[in-house]
A = this chain, B = another copy of it.
Amino acid sequence: METAGKLDRAVGARAMKPQQIREAAARLFLAQGYGAVSMDAVAREAGVSKATIYAHFADKAELFADLVKEECARQWPDTAMLESEPGDLREALMAVGMVYAELLVSPKGVQTFRMVVAESPRFPELGRAFYDGGPRLIRDKLAAYLARAEAQGKLALGDPRLAAQQFLAMLRCEHHLRALTGLDPAPAPAEIARVVAGATDMFLRAYGR
């Protein structure tokens, strides 16, 4: 197609088709899983031929692993608020709790979690990318934040890392479980807020001064 060819050169979009492929494959794989998506389906969704896919990706496994790893790296929320000096603790816990809890039950969050858990036996790299880039990172940042708050006399923790784990675990609540099992794909934001407030209250009752 002459027009498309000229457009490619006009915008310097050498990586246009590869990008189309990545986006189409990500949509399909995340929604349906590795085994249920055929390369024909990816080609159709991307509007290219199957041969074009194989010109850019070695095989189906590489395409899948590439995309899921990318999704693992990108989806995590901004936690800059945990790097500043501790101000109002309740406010900080509510804020970080809300963004994390909402991510957990969001469509993207649920799909990514599903793929990683389902395919990590065959793609061990996915488990590593997901855990290190997400839960582990957040836990470390929160643990450091809590330790600083304790140094300021605002908390009485035994083990900051354990305390961080406990708070985050309370966010991976039944709403998360119900979203993962398809029983409640989209919990109401008010419900999420209630759980986050509950976790914050309980955390401060146990560890606050």
Binding site for B on A (CB under 8 A): 31-36, 113-114, 116-118, 120-122, 124, 126-128, 130-131, 135, 139, 158-159, 162-163, 165-166, 169-174, 177-178, 180-183, 195, 198-199, 201-203, 205-207
A35:B34 contact, CB within 8 angstroms: yes
Chain B residues within 8 Å of A162, by CB: 195, 198
A131:B166 contact, CB within 8 angstroms: no
Q: A-side binding surface: helix, strand, loop or mixed? A: helix
B122:A36 contact, CB within 8 angstroms: yes
B181:A173 contact, CB within 8 angstroms: no
Listed A/B pairs (22) with beta-carbon separation below 8 Å: A32-B121, A33-B118, A34-B35, A113-B117, A114-B117, A116-B181, A117-B118, A117-B181, A120-B181, A127-B181, A127-B182, A130-B181, A135-B177, A139-B174, A158-B201, A162-B195, A166-B170, A166-B202, A169-B173, A170-B170, A205-B205, A205-B206
Identical copies of this chain, number: 2
Shortest Cβ distance from residue A130 to the other chain B in the assembled complex, whole angstroms: 6
Chain B residues within 8 Å of A135, by CB: 174, 177
* Known pairs A205-B205, A205-B206; A174 contacts B165 (CB<8 A): yes
Q: In whole angstroms, how far apart are the Cα atoms of A128 and B207 in the complex?
A: 36
A135: nearest chain-B partner, CB-CB = B177
Closest 4 CB pairs of A and B: A35-B35, A127-B181, A118-B118, A206-B206
Q: Supply 4 further A-B pairs (C-beta < 8 A) apart from A33-B121, A126-B181, A169-B170.
A: A124-B182, A128-B183, A158-B201, A202-B207
B173:A165 contact, CB within 8 angstroms: yes
Chain B residues within 8 Å of A199, by CB: 166
A130: nearest chain-B partner, CB-CB = B181
Q: In whole angstroms, how far apart are the Cα atoms of A113 and B163 in the complex?
A: 26
